[in-house]
């Protein structure tokens, strides 16, 4: 973002101004080329079609560059990072998303350091291989797995957290990589871009005092294919018979239901408490420690694949890009 001199409101940044605002880039020993959307957008306007556009830009330029840095508004950055992690199959180069909390034109902006270090990480190699070979988010001296991130603050420079997975790297005087946390491709393969996203989903957030009409309004959505149920604690929900009967009715119609906790840290443990056994019995799927952002984009991504319901349920509950842990209890 930059400050609009006429309205003093924040508006989307035009990348052609980057060297004007961050002249330090000219001192980096990195060959930088940039591409920009014809019309920069506020990240609040992010959509699946734009995820696809980003993915295609990476695919088209994949063999030309050693790494990619995406300047992105922080509000929906975790969604985009998650979506790209599912789209870019066989990725063996870094795709780093970064941005800032203060506009890049202001004196105290965090955008300069975030961009400069993100570029250094994107260019880092060891034994002719990229050090980072996954989609990641760099913000305020920390590098996180993209599909594990969650924005935690609209005020602090430390805007992001990876609540259930270690940092990939920490930038101080030197950049220290957490080798054990970095994604290691199982085998060398060509990049494959899977662009499909099906937005026939809904997110139902439970709260004390909800009514059955509230639940039915979500489940009655036209063409609903997957419901993300945001439950309490370790996956708990009211064991009210009407509530479970309503969920089961739609499960029987083929609507998948994924249990994702409202807690930022920790995991869903269906069946641990009596209040979650009913969900387990009617076939609600276990979201383990997945973030909401990763759950939304993963559901959209898998729904667009030509797979049967059993495969969909299985893949939804297992990590396909390091986005969740396999929980055994």
Span 313-327, pLDDT tens digits: 999 999 999 999 976
pLDDT of residue 63: 95
Residue 321, in any domain of the structure: no
Same domain, 128 and 266: no
Render the burial of 273-312: b for 16+ CB within 10 Å, e for the rest.
eebbebbeeeebbbbbbbbbbbbbbbbbbbbbeeeeeeeb
Compute the average pLDDT of residues 87-95: 96
Distance CA 209, CA 95 (A): 43
Asked if the model's pLDDT at residue 219 lies above 80, the reply is yes
Residue 25, in any domain of the structure: yes
* Residue 309 per-residue DSSP state: H
pLDDT of residue 34: 85
pLDDT averaged over the chain? 91
pLDDT of residue 329: 44
Residue 234, in any domain of the structure: yes
Same domain, 115 and 185: yes
Of 164, 193, 222, the residue at which a domain comes to its end is 193
pLDDT of residue 274: 85
Distance CA 13, CA 41 (A): 8
For 227-283, the pLDDT digits (tens) are 999 999 999 999 999 999 999 999 999 999 999 999 999 999 998 888 899 999 999
Residue 142, in any domain of the structure: yes
Asked if the model's pLDDT at residue 213 lies above 90, the reply is yes
Distance CA 84, CA 4 (A): 30
94-108, 109-123, 172-186: least confident range? 94-108
Q: How far is CA 271 from CA 15, 99, 134, 230, in A?
A: 50, 40, 34, 16
Compute the average pLDDT of residues 70-86: 96
Of 193, 209, 229, the residue at which a domain comes to its end is 193
pLDDT of residue 29: 82
Residue 323, in any domain of the structure: no
Compute the average pLDDT of residues 89-105: 89
Burial class (CB in 10 A: 0-12, 13-18, 19+), 227: buried
pLDDT of residue 15: 62
Place 2 in a pLDDT band, splitting at 50, 70 and 90. low
CATH number at residue 120: 3.40.50.1170
Of 131, 159, 193, the residue at which a domain comes to its end is 193
Helix (H) or strand (E) holding 3: strand 2-3
Report how many domains make up the chain: 2
What is the three-class DSSP state of 9? coil
Same domain, 286 and 304: yes
Helix (H) or strand (E) holding 126: strand 125-126
Same domain, 36 and 146: yes
Residue 324, in any domain of the structure: no
Compute the average pLDDT of residues 217-223: 91
For 141-199, the pLDDT digits (tens) are 999 999 999 999 999 888 999 999 999 999 999 999 999 999 998 777 789 999 999 99
Same domain, 82 and 112: yes
Compute the average pLDDT of residues 282-305: 97
Same domain, 19 and 77: yes
Same domain, 65 and 122: yes
Q: In percent, how much of the chain has pLDDT > 70?
A: 93
What is the three-class DSSP state of 81? helix
Same domain, 112 and 189: yes
Residue 329, in any domain of the structure: no
CATH number at residue 271: 3.40.50.40
Same domain, 7 and 127: yes
Same domain, 101 and 168: yes
Distance CA 43, CA 65 (A): 25
Asked if the model's pLDDT at residue 38 lies above 90, the reply is no
Compute the average pLDDT of residues 211-234: 94
Same domain, 71 and 115: yes
Structural domain including 261 reads: 201-316
Same domain, 131 and 56: yes
Residue 327, in any domain of the structure: no
CB atoms within 10 A of CB 125: 12
Asked if the model's pLDDT at residue 303 lies above 60, the reply is yes
CB atoms within 10 A of CB 113: 19
Asked if the model's pLDDT at residue 22 lies above 80, the reply is no
């Amino acid at each position: 973002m930059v400050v609009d001199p006429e309205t003093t409101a924040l508006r989307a940044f035009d990348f052609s101004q980057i060297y004007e605002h961050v002249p330090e880039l000219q001192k980096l020993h990195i060959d930088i080329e940039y591409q920009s959307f014809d019309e920069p957008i506020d990240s609040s306007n992010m959509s699946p079609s734009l995820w696809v556009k980003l993915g295609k830009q990476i695919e088209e330029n994949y063999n030309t560059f050693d790494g990619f840095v995406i300047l992105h508004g922080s509000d929906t950055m975790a969604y985009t990072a998650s979506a790209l992690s599912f789209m870019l199959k066989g990725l063996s180069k870094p795709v780093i998303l970064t941005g800032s909390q203060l506009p890049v034109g202001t004196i105290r902006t965090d955008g300069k350091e975030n961009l400069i270090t993100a570029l250094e990480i994107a260019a880092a190699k060891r034994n002719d291989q990229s050090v980072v070979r996954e989609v990641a988010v760099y913000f305020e001296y920390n590098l996180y797995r993209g599909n594990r991130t969650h924005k935690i603050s609209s005020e602090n420079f430390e805007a992001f957290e990876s609540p259930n997975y270690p940092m990939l790297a920490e930038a101080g005087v030197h950049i220290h990589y957490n080798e054990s946390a970095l994604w290691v491709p199982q085998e060398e393969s060509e990049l494959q871009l899977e662009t499909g996203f099906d937005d026939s989903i809904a997110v139902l957030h439970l709260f004390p005092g909800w009514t059955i009409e509230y639940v039915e309004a979500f489940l009655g959505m036209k063409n609903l294919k997957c419901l993300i149920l945001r439950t309490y604690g370790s996956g708990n929900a009211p064991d009210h018979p009407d509530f479970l009967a309503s969920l089961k009715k739609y499960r029987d119609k083929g609507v998948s239901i994924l249990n994702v906790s409202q807690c930022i840290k920790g995991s869903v443990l269906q069946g641990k408490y009596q209040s979650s056994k009913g969900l387990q019995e009617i076939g609600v799927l276990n979201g383990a420690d997945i973030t909401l952002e990763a759950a939304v984009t993963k559901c959209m991504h898998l729904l667009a694949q030509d797979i049967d319901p059993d495969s969909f349920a299985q893949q939804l509950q297992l990590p396909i890009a390091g986005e969740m842990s396999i929980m055994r209890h």
